[in-house]
Amino acid sequence: MTWYAFFGALEQGFAYGLMVLGVYLTFRILDFPDLTVDGSLPLGAAVSAVAITAGVHPYLSLLLALGAGFLAGMVTGILNTKFRILHLLASILTMIALYSINIRIMGRPNMTLLGKRTILDPFYAMDMSPSVAAPILFGIVSVLSVIFLMWFLHTEFGLAILATGDNKQMITSQGVNTHRVIIFGVGLSNGLVALSGAMICQNQGAADVNMGVGTIVAGLASVIIGETVFGSRSINRAIIAALLGSIVYRLAIALALGLKMGRFSFTPSDLNLITAILVVAALTLPQVRARFRLK
Amino acid sequence: MISLAGITKYFHRGSINEVLALEDVSLNVRTGDFITIIGSNGAGKSTLLNCLAGSYPVDEGSISIDGEDVTSWPEHRRAGDISRVFQNPLLGTCASLTIEQNLALAARRGKPHGFGLGVKNRDRDLFQEKLRHLGLELEDRLKDKVGLLSGGQRQALTMLMASMVRPKVLLLDEHTAALDPKTAHQILDLTTLVVSEERLTTLMVTHNMKQALQLGNRLIMMHRSRIILDVEGDQKTKLTVEDLIEQFYTARGEEFSQDRMLLV
């Protein structure tokens, strides 16, 4: 693997790392399989792209993306809790709706940011090359998010979120409104995902309504890889493992894309298949191992 | 004082599976009462507790706690006044959280959850002291996950959590039924200790008639969605298991004779 490919994977790993943290929050903490992310990632990109085009400061556009993602997640949470729709279905409904909404926001299916200001400009001004600036900036944002989550999940409200994902009857009889916790938790998760989408869009210079396809699978793969490789004994460790899992996942993909077996090589369109197989393998491996141990 | 007035509760109302779980049940619980509740399966004992706690909305009637009408309050809002221990020892605690995190949640029962640290340093001393009281050697395992504990230890922890913040009423729903006899005995001792020390108003559902007679100052027998016996004080002290069985058959016999009258 070349240095160029390595830094590229690092950059992607950090940029998508926020998305992975969001998926970790719903999938592992809240026990809420949330497919909204396939729609909230392009939502963040669209909001950020439109805001920058309209002259909003690129960093401020990140906040707008975060807010938009939060709202999208809240919709899923409300559909699930107040309208009693199964979590999986509720999130698919929001995801489908976001496809239309994202096109409405941009006014077209995709949008370029050619010649526009981006969050990377201050780094370019310091004479940094794009392949160095992006991993540094995304690394900083990811680490800050990890620290935020570690703090947040140890607050009183954070404990209530952890308990809601574990035992709803228990936390309800301790006086916590689980509906509110779920709506907020899924909101926060999608806020992170949208933030991730906004950074990716500014980095690649375009927002596309289809850029979110397969986000949930990539997120799950990263979370599971992280847990398998780095462990999840404590909350802090699991959060760090999720971010590192994102990096390992992107490195693995970079390796796979560089692989040549005779005349066969993988193309980027094979990624979804590879990821799906990876997730299935990671999910079934513990069962297979347990079965062999029994015999 | 807790008062239930004319509570009626149906399950699957309007379908062919309709069940009348509580029929016009009224009960006044005075502050300091320790009421044991007995009755056959399906008599409505657990439903009564669940309606009081707000887990089930009632179809008719009203519930008030200290003069405040809580009939329309959701379960989490009533939790400020009510603490519970369930039959299933896994239901009262969070397995993936540590002992101290579970205790911290119980210490904030009914209070808002803000952005202060969940487990504060000054709480830890209090937690350790309370755990030492249990005599289960859990006081040095604050950072252990509750999933590592046995069912009995978890139920003891739930008992402790139920009294962390003084409740206006403590609801015990066959909380020793799922434990082995020795552990059940320990939990029962702990219950007596906590209830008498804090003078807690308590409702305890049990299948054990001896237990129901030994504990508390008041006894209620339920049958077919109704309260058929309510005795207290001296009257309760004099009761024997045989009396209870006789009362039970008398109540059933009346039904039979009424049925027969209908047929004639």
List domains and CATH numbers for chain B: 2-95+168-263 (3.40.50.300)
Chain A and chain B share a number of CB contacts under 8 A equal to: 87
- The single-letter DSSP state of residue B10 is E
Is the confidence at residue A66, as pLDDT, over 90? yes
Q: What gap in Å lies between CA A40 and CA A77, rounded to an integer?
A: 14
| Closest CA of chain B from A106, distance in Å | 36
Take residue B185 and report the two structure tokens written for it: 């005995």
Out of B82, B93, B119, the one facing A170 most closely (by C-beta) is B93
Whether the predicted pLDDT of B242 surpasses 90: no
Contact call for A176 and B76, based on CB within 8 A: yes
User: Rounded mean pLDDT of A170-199?
Assistant: 97
Question: Number of structural domains, chain A?
Answer: 1
pLDDT in tens, B26-79: 999 999 999 999 998 889 999 999 999 999 999 999 999 999 999 999 999 999
Chain A residues close to B52, C-beta within 8 Å: none
Give yes or no for residue A271 having a pLDDT over 90.
Answer: no
Helical spans, DSSP H, in B146-214: 151-162, 181-198, 209-214
Of A108-112, A207-211, A278-282, which gets the smallest average pLDDT?
A278-282
Q: Which residue of A has its CA nearest to B116?
A: A155
- Helix A130-152 to helix A3-15 angle (10° resolution) is 30
Query: For the domain that residue A147 is a member of, what is the CATH number?
Result: 1.10.3470
Task: Give the CA radius of gyration of chain B.
Answer: 20
Backbone φ, ψ for residue A149 (5° rounding): -65, -40
Mean pLDDT of B232-252: 85
Cross-chain residue pair A171–B94, CB shorter than 8 Å: yes
A188 vs B contacts (CB less than 8 Å): none
Q: What is the ipTM of this complex?
A: 0.90
Partner-chain residue, chosen from A152, A163, A178, that has the shortest CB–CB distance to B105: A163
Measured between CA atoms, the residue of chain A closest to residue B108 is A174
Cβ proximity of B136 and B146 under 8 Å: no
Residues of A at the B interface, defined by Cβ within 8 angstroms: 152, 154-160, 162-163, 166-167, 169-178
What six digits make up the tokens of A67? Answer: 């807010």
Query: pTM higher than 0.90, yes or no?
Result: yes
Q: How far apart are CA A264 and CA A259, in angstroms?
A: 9
Check if the beta carbon of residue A162 is closer than 8 Å to that of residue A234.
no
Least confident of A62-66, A72-76, A228-232, B226-230: A228-232
Distance from CA of B211 to the nearest CA of A (A): 26
pLDDT band at residue A95, thresholds of 50, 70 and 90?
A: very high
Distance, in angstroms, between B235 CA and closest chain A CA?
34
Contact B116 A170 (CB under 8 A): no
Q: Please, is A73 exposed, middle or buried when counting C-beta atoms within 10 Å of its C-beta (0-12, 13-18, 19+)? A: buried
Considering only CB atoms, A170 lies closest to which of B91, B111, B113, namely B91
Q: Which value, in Å, is the radius of gyration of the alpha carbons in chain A?
A: 19
Å from B226 to nearest chain A CA? 26
Q: Looking at the predicted structure, is the pLDDT value of residue A295 above 70?
A: no
Q: For B196-214, write each residue's pLDDT tens digit.
A: 998 999 999 998 888 999 9
Q: Greater confidence, A114 or A57?
A: A57
Search chain B and give the residue with CA nearest A163: B94
Q: Which domain holds residue A193?
A: 3-294
CB contact (8 A) between residue B117 and residue A154: yes
Of residues A127 and B106, which shows the higher confidence score? B106
pLDDT digits (tens, 9 = 90+) for B70-120: 999 999 999 999 999 999 999 999 999 999 999 999 999 999 999 999 999
Cβ of B119 within 8 Å of Cβ of A154? The answer is: yes
Amino acid (one-letter) located at B138: L
| Mutation for A interface: B76, B84, B99, B169, most A CBs within 10 A | B76
CA torsion sign for A147, A152, A153, A154 is positive
Shortest Cα distance, chain B CAs vs residue A150, angstroms:
11
Q: In what order do the strands lie in the sheet with B2-11?
A: B19-29, B2-11, B60-65, B68-69
Chain B positions touching A184 (Cβ under 8 A) are: none
pLDDT at A273: 86
Taking contacts as CB-CB distances below 8 angstroms, the residues of chain B near A185 are none
Our CA-based measurement puts residue A56 at a distance from the nearest CA of chain B, in whole angstroms, of: 31
The answer to whether A173 contacts B84, with C-beta atoms less than 8 Å apart, is yes
- Is B119's CB within 8 Å of A176's CB? no
pLDDT of residue A91: 97
